[in-house]
Every structure is written in C-alpha cells, then in structure tokens.
Amino acid sequence: MHSRDLCLQADRQDELANLRHQFSLPHGVIYLDGNSLGVLPKTATARSQHVLEQEWGVGLIRSWNTARWFELPTRLGEKLGRLIGAEAGEVVVTDTTSLNLFKALAAALRIQQAQAPKRRVIVSERDNFPTDLYMMQGMIDFLQQGYELRLIDETLSLEQALTDEVAVLALSHVNYRTGAMYDMAEVTAKAQARGALVIWDLAHAAGAVPVDLNGADADFAVGCTYKYLNGGPGSPAFIWVSARHQDRFWQPLSGWWGHSRPFDMATDYQPAQGIRRFLCGTQPILSMSLVECGLDVALQVDMAALRKKSLALTDLFIQLVEQRCGHHPLTLITPREHASRGSHVSFMHPQGYAVMQALIARGVIGDYREPEVLRFGITPLYLGYADIWDAVEVLRDILDSASWNQPAFMARAAVT
C-alpha cells in the first residue's frame, strides 16, 4: 500500500473493522500497546457497575451463589479454552501468570520425580520473559534437590539443550521482546521425544495467534488475560493442564478453593478432581468479571481471519518503516517469516527509549524494552491499515526532526 488512500480503502473492505466499535479508544490516539495492556471493551463499564451496585451492593454475600461468583474461574476457563485449543475442563482463570507457572512447574517436576527421578534439568531460553526465569530459579532454590536451569541462546541450541537429564522445557510461544514465535507442535514433539514435559507461556499468543494446545499434544500452558484478551489491568491469568495430567499430583499451593469440598472446612487438604485443583484462594470477583467482556469480543472472531489481518498489518508496518525511516539507525528484530512471527513488531534504535516517549507524546502509544527496543503491538480487533500508515508517519517525522532529543523524553519513568 503506497498511499493513505489505499489504506483507507483496505479498511473499508476489512471484515473485522466493525469490531473496533466494541472498544473505547481515546480520540487522537493510535494504540500500539495491546501486547502490554489491551483496551477497554465498552461493555466493561456497565458490567463493572452491575457487579458493584447489584451483585455486591444488593446481593452481598448471597452473590457467591445467586450471581454464580463461585463458578467464575471455571466458567471463564471454558470460554477462554475455545481460543487456545482446549477441551472442556482443562482451563481455569485464576491468580497471575507467575503463580500459575509455579504451579505448572511444580506439577511437571513431581510427575517426573515419580517416573524419571534422575531428570534434574529445567530448560528455558535466555530471552524468555524475566518472571518466567525468576520463578524457575525460585523453584530450584525452594526444592534444594540439585535442579539446574539450562538456557538456550546463541551458543546453545534447543536440540543441544534437550539431553536425557531434562525434566521440563518451559518456553514462551511468542517472545515478549522480538515477537518471534515457536512452532508449538514441532517443539513439543521434539521435547517429549526426549522424555521432557513442556510448559508454554501464552502471554503474547492467546487472542493474538491461533493456538491449539491439544492439537500440539502439549502438557501445560499459562498466560494472562490483560493483553490481547483485553481483560483489564492486572486481570487474572489462566492455566491449562492436559486432562492426562490433572489428577496425577497434588497442587503445591493447596488453598481452600482447590479443595474437593471447600465448605466442609476440613482440617486436611483433599484436592478437587480436575482443573479446579489449580485454584488457591478466594478470587478477585470484580476484575474477574471484567475478563468476560474481553473474551466475549474475542469469541466473535474467527482466529484464521484475525491472523490474516494481523500478518497484513505487521507486514505493512515493517514495509513502511523500512521505506520511510530506513535512513535512520533502526534494526528489525522481529522475524519476517509469517510462521515465525506473533502480532507485535520490534525495532532497535540507539535512543529507543526517548523515541518511544516522543511517539507517546504525539499520541502513538507503543512501549520500550531493554535493550534499545521499540515495541509495537498490532491488535487487529481495533487497529486498521490507516492507523499503521499514520503511526509510521509520526515515527518518520520524529526521527527526521530529531524531536526525540529532549530532556523530557530522556527521563526514565518507573514503567517503560
């Protein structure tokens, strides 16, 4: 597309364009950060008001039953599961991605201890999202049983890392920094052939790219709902466990919501059968209720159509940046190959932080990640082709004029 008019024409022909009207987008903003925090579904305002005023304000404690609060984690899990290739009873919405990773990792290690006790290596990648690595390090320290964290990188390939000592492979389906995407089925098969169990982090995949956990024969998966699923800031995460693993271990964070009969108030813990055993404590009902608003929009979309538009928009973004900003020191770190790309695009620039702050000041909101990475989330539910054209035009102007070179744009905020 060589003109804004052609982008507008593509928007008029876009079968997903009407979905934009289901979101509350500020006037004058091009939002390219849905891979960090999704936007507000319009139904969320009324939903939150109803939960506050009616379910809590009027129903009070009765709403655990009358408003079905107690069922929210599994009911939302059923909806979310349809987006990631899950079967009924395999997903629960609860806690945070970090806590759910801890649960999945503990579960996988316990299974391996029973059937292959000499496996003492957890494999991940050096460029995985830091909380994933921190949780793995914390698990190793907590267990004190001689486990080792082995990280794949430029010097150690996945094939080299997957030795007979490996208990668990834990990877992000889509890399948070670069947008690079693994072939889930291929990697899962490769790891399982070597005797490892596999945990996938879907934080940058769920709601952004087609995911088929059962089709890939995966073991465990975790992810958040506040990015492409538009659940709201800090909204509860989710955990998926293959049915074949659900009753083979005791969940390590054995809170009362995971008990088989929580209101028996029994002294001893007896885990629930199935996915409910992955719950811990009382759920955050208000934020959990809002998750449903984002899921209901996502479920209106055919994932193949969403993926097609995502690839078209990311292709256009890469093309326009290289054509119109190519004389500046920008380096694309996102794969060009469609099969290897998620739904965000990242460029490195020596002054990436300041450039991003200048963009945000002009109403083009992306984010920055160390080192030097300008990250742009391309969310097809509410972005169009003209948005991409206009965003790149602002980027070009900022780079050509060097307007990023101001003290205000250099000052680091707590959140980048």
Residue 265 one-letter amino acid: M
From the candidates 147, 176, 220, 226, give the one annotated as an active-site residue.
226
Whether 43 contacts 22, CB under 8 Å: yes
Is 226 part of the annotated catalytic residue set?
A: yes
From the candidates 23, 102, 129, 228, give the one annotated as an active-site residue.
129
Residue 251 CB partners (closer than 8 Å, separation 6+): 103, 106, 107, 258, 271, 277, 278
Is 201 part of the annotated catalytic residue set?
A: yes
Instruction: Choose among 104, 349, 382: nearest CA to 218.
Output: 104
Is 129 part of the annotated catalytic residue set?
A: yes
Q: How many Cβ atoms from other residues are within 10 Å of residue 226's Cβ?
A: 23
From the candidates 14, 201, 219, 387, give the one annotated as an active-site residue.
201
The Cα 333–Cα 180 span in angstroms is 9
From the candidates 20, 119, 120, 227, give the one annotated as an active-site residue.
227
Q: How far is CA 323 from the centre of its chain?
A: 30
The Cα 393–Cα 296 span in angstroms is 34
From the candidates 375, 382, 396, 409, give the one annotated as an active-site residue.
375
Per DSSP bridges, beta strands 40-41 and 23-24 are antiparallel
The Cα 18–Cα 8 span in angstroms is 14
Residues with a known catalytic role: 129, 201, 226-227, 375
